[in-house]
Amino acid sequence: MILRLDINGEDGVHAVACTLAAIRSAQEGQTVTVAEIEPDYTAY
């Protein structure tokens, strides 16, 4: 296993935002960018 010390909380937040954009895109049937994901957006 390789331990990466350069990964931080912001990387995790970005990963979640990417996932939320993909979910919203699938729901709406159109492209959704990460920038369009509001901080209070949830997928449920």
- How many C-alpha atoms does 43 have within 13 Å on its Cβ side? 12
**Residue 35 pLDDT:** 97
Domain count of the fold of the chain: 1
The secondary structure of residue 4, as a DSSP letter, is P
Task: Tell which wins on pLDDT, 24 or 5.
Answer: 24
Question: Which pTM value belongs to this model?
Answer: 0.80
* Structural domain that includes position 37: 1-44
Q: Using one digit for the tens of pLDDT, what is the confidence trace for 6-28? A: 888 999 999 999 999 999 999 99
The secondary structure of residue 1, as a DSSP letter, is -
Say which residues have a Cβ less than 8 Å from residue 16's Cβ, sequence separation at least 6.
none
d(CA 8, CA 32): 25
Largest CA distance in the chain: 39
**Residue 40 pLDDT:** 93
**Residue 2 pLDDT:** 81
